[in-house]
Structure 1
């Protein structure tokens, strides 16, 4: 190594110039070294490759492919098989097209084969054979290629022989859309893709498929939905302009590239705004999808949202009618979590209403459920939720599943879904109440929405008679804190059913009215609440014996609700009296230290403090030393402003006090 004392020396300047030229040339040298040099080199051709004019980068998936197929650290002399799998319309083909175009110089040859059917694959091999050097084929192969009609099996054999040559190991064979399961004996175009692999233990094979099971041939790369930024780019690229208020569309389509591409094309062709598109999507989904089909998408082989999942559904249907029916039922549930216990509720539902045999077979045990859900998962129609025992599906596919049901099936499936969800609503005594409530909530919102918007007054009435009142009651109970307006609608339907079945004074009817009045108070509908409360108090006084009235929790809850209503109306004496009655009952039922008792004492203390000495009750000490049951009649008698229904309850209380003495 030479050392220079001065940077101005002539030799130093000469060496510096050489080093600088080497630095400048290094990128080209690295690129040249990365390119495959082979005597079997065949230029990449776009013939037969789907057109992807505006690919939106998917860095994570691209990096995964590069690590498996390009990275020298992972390079192997053995055959390398990579399966890109995922939901139909998720962008598998587009990703692989971009990979092939980006890295075409790093393989001696890239061959694109259409694997959508065995006939298509054979024709692709015929086209591939035409591109191979004649001097590297067998004599029979050369003769065959000179004929007007090329036999597919000969073309396949020649291609496999050429790919298996020991000196030819740097090729990439891409087989696109291998979506047919060869185990499906009723599908004449299904095939075992492994039979088309070259026999040599070298080269690379890249497969795109909805069949996650093909990962058994090698490594797997799962393609999921795109992020918001990518989704916006896909939408606007296809719309041809910036989309104002695009968020409403992005939220509906949840990062599904096919749906985004189709929506953007529709908006470009019709000049529809994002708001208009969203309105049509929510109200007339099926008609909107049919209109979108007028603008075919070449990069998706002219498939649309309505047609792209048909092949997967038909495949499921041929293998398991039960799994296909489960998919349609799922369209009436929420797209999120579905788990065994939710479906198993059908065994209890069978005691209330008719349940189809296919559902009972799936619900028989966890093994039967796993078999059905496993088939849907293998076809990439559903995904397992990591760390849980549940599965979910994409929201657009979910809309399609609801669209699958025929008119005659929709009523039955909707009522089944409502019944399953209602039976899965936990009670407050359940130790896992909050977890189970959170898990079932989305399904509750979904099925309750269907019951009130089932289509036309006659259909809504039919739903009301097909779903048990208890199911409506449970749905109302579930939604009470989440969507009060919807909860009111559920309770009203439950009330209609109970009144017809049991009469207006049955405890089930009164319990429903009781819950309704609480919701009316929360919603500020005080006049309706008061009417309901009066009805409940009168009803309980009639149907519950005096011995049980002050320990009947629904009645006590109603007293507390009525006290709250009277307090909000400024009737403090009435409020204090009803709070006191509820407190007496809770103490007798649960004991003085129960949370409900503490809560009512606090309310009474606040009322006494706010009223001070002007109160008709003496002072706050009444809360700490409330009159015993023996003196209750005298305490009640001192009150004023008692309405008729209050007097009815007073009579019962007096009878109870006399019985105690």
Structure 2
């Protein structure tokens, strides 16, 4: 670029840096002043995706934060509104919709891609060139460009909007790698009352940027998620299909990106349009592969799969607190809801625990996470705090935490990504079993505490039973699952107890053979569970087999044989075979 005297701007800067003051251009009356730019800027063409579904409550909250009475707290700086949420919740689309609807209320608006320092600097250079009608990125230093843009909005009347999208690298940690990517976002924010700033982020530091209420983006409303799925699948679902769609979006946890990708998957797979239930079945068996599908940019305007965006978050958590990342992996082995702190606090070392510890069943769960150091409440709270700050956990009024069901599934699924990670999966199996064993021991005979453990016991069983267990692991799992099965049976949770006791019986049978005392005991437990379910014929047949084996191996007078007689007598009585039951009772007495 040349000024009116024919001298290039680059040469002017090289000859006399004083010609740039706070990034602004001094033309010395030899050229045009910076122009009064009006309009919108973005590096990429911005449009809301065609399938976008309005989220009125979030939109209204965002508008409220930007239009409420300003300076009531005597703050003379820019108003910064943070839009925060887990990756894939639809933060950018929400803000983009607001940007498109309200940019006419501003003299000028600027969309800055803030995912990396390089993209922020690129956009500020382009904005600088736009405002000052300067061409050629190499002519201006980035610091001069940043200061110039800031000074430009300060010195002009009007109202300006800056959107910093995807500002996820604004946390300074001890990691050298992360420091190279670190963005001091405050350095780029103009500090003047005429500027509104919207910042989308997953970062835990963002809330500290502003006293204004954070707009938290989470799950979609059920009706919103259903509408999004129908738009993406291009299906006008009614009747049975509508009910299936409701099941699908519920299975997806109402997560915007997952719903969008699933709807598109159905649209691109004609056979699924004929039977949506087939997709639901397919998703349940191929969840990891489907969630790993990369979005189509022109359709979704999102560059990462659901799994990729969470992997990025996991890496950030690991860099900040390695214990928290390991703790998160452990959470994949219990239920995603009602995660309470007391569940993780160690128990007093009573005799029963010490005995189990000696034979391997009482593996100390915190060895894997805390290197053997017994955690206290404050250590556990720190892990929760880090995970909550990244949106991986949410605090509930019931005095516990919850995890999005898809995040919970991903935490477990990620352990299967590569064969070499199998050892990582196995290294969490025994700690998770130990954790539940401790919790059951602490609950004692308190009904409320025991009932609270049931969802965690069942989630743990589902996770561990899928693992590639070795013989020693199976032995320990059998011992600890017996404890879980006892709790469930004592609480009358016969359906849940059946699955666990069936697992224990068949694993013991495979390892010990049919006549081993542990196998016979496991068969007796399974028979009692069948009886509790009302499956009396099956229970009676199994109880008879247990009795026959105990008579043959232990003799009629052994206490275990007498116990088997009593169990069979109870089952016969429940069948209405009162004479047989009475005869068995007499034999046992």
TM-score range, shorter chain: 0.7 to 0.9
Specify the alignment match of 1:64 in structure 2: 61
Distance 1:442 1:540 in 2: 40
Specify the alignment match of 2:168 in structure 1: 179
1:90 CA drift (Å): 0.5
List alignment gaps of at least 5 residues for structure 1: 1-38, 135-141, 550-554, 582-635, 637-645, 651-661
Q: Tell me, yes or no, if structure 1 residue 152 matches structure 2 residue 136.
A: no
Matched positions, count = 515
Q: Tell me, yes or no, if structure 1 residue 206 matches structure 2 residue 198.
A: yes
Q: Tell me, yes or no, if structure 1 residue 102 matches structure 2 residue 101.
A: yes
User: What does 1:603-622 correspond to in 2, within 5 Å?
Assistant: none
The Cα offsets for residues 163-195 of structure 1, whole Å up to 9 and x where unpaired, read as: 222x43521111111112431243111122112
Query: Could you tell me which of 420, 430, 436 is aligned with 1:415?
Result: 430
Specify the alignment match of 1:55 in structure 2: 52
Secondary structure, aligned partner of 2:229? helix
User: What does 1:236-315 correspond to in 2, within 5 Å?
Assistant: 236-243=230-237, 244=241, 245-271=244-270, 272-273=272-273, 274-290=276-292, 292-293=293-294, 295-296=296-297, 299-315=300-316
Equivalent residues of 1:80, 1:205 under 8 A apart: yes
Distance 1:146 1:213 in 2: 35
Q: 1:422 to 1:368 in 2, by over 3 A?
A: same
Q: Tell me, yes or no, if structure 1 residue 477 matches structure 2 residue 486.
A: yes
User: What does 1:27-426 correspond to in 2, within 5 Å?
Assistant: 42-45=38-41, 47-48=43-44, 50-53=46-49, 54-71=51-68, 78-132=77-131, 134=133, 145=135, 149-165=139-155, 167-168=156-157, 170-184=159-173, 185-186=175-176, 187=178, 188-218=180-210, 219=212, 220-243=214-237, 244=241, 245-271=244-270, 272-273=272-273, 274-290=276-292, 292-293=293-294, 295-296=296-297, 299-344=300-345, 352=360, 357-361=367-371, 364-388=375-399, 390-405=400-415, 406-425=421-440
Query: Could you tell me which of 527, 539, 546 is aligned with 2:541?
Result: 527
Q: Tell me, yes or no, if structure 1 residue 448 matches structure 2 residue 461.
A: yes
Secondary structure, aligned partner of 2:318? helix
Secondary structure, aligned partner of 1:174? strand
Q: 1:395 to 1:147 in 2, by over 3 A?
A: closer
Distance 2:444 2:306 in 1: 45
Q: 1:340 to 1:460 in 2, by over 3 A?
A: same
Secondary structure, aligned partner of 1:81? strand
1:64 CA drift (Å): 0.7
Distance 1:210 1:376 in 2: 11
**Over alpha carbons, which structure has the higher Rg?**
1
Equivalent residues of 1:296, 1:304 under 8 A apart: no
Distance 1:393 1:429 in 2: 27
Q: Which protein, 1 or 2, shows the higher relative CO under an 8 Å CA cutoff with sep ≥ 6?
A: 2
Secondary structure, aligned partner of 2:110? strand
Q: TM-score, normalised by structure 2?
A: 0.78
Q: 1:441 to 1:40 in 2, by over 3 A?
A: farther
1:535 CA drift (Å): 5.1
Equivalent residues of 1:86, 1:212 under 8 A apart: no
Equivalent residues of 1:265, 1:295 under 8 A apart: no
1:63 CA drift (Å): 0.9
Distance 1:424 1:124 in 2: 53
Secondary structure, aligned partner of 2:440? coil
Equivalent residues of 1:40, 1:168 under 8 A apart: no
The Cα offsets for residues 583-610 of structure 1, whole Å up to 9 and x where unpaired, read as: xxxxxxxxxxxxxxxxxxxxxxxxxxxx
The Cα offsets for residues 320-355 of structure 1, whole Å up to 9 and x where unpaired, read as: 222222222222322223333333459968663555
Using the TM superposition, name which of 342-351 and 179-188 deviates more: 342-351
Q: 1:181 to 1:46 in 2, by over 3 A?
A: closer
Q: 1:485 to 1:43 in 2, by over 3 A?
A: same
1:317 CA drift (Å): 1.3
Q: 1:461 to 1:242 in 2, by over 3 A?
A: farther
Q: 1:294 to 1:164 in 2, by over 3 A?
A: closer
Distance 2:299 2:208 in 1: 31
List alignment gaps of at least 5 residues for structure 2: 1-34, 416-420
1:540 CA drift (Å): 9.5
- Kindly report the root-mean-square deviation, in angstroms, between the aligned alpha carbons of the 2 structures: 3.4
Distance 1:40 1:463 in 2: 75
1:45 CA drift (Å): 4.2
Specify the alignment match of 2:451 in structure 1: 438
User: What does 1:580-659 correspond to in 2, within 5 Å?
Assistant: 646=587, 649-650=588-589
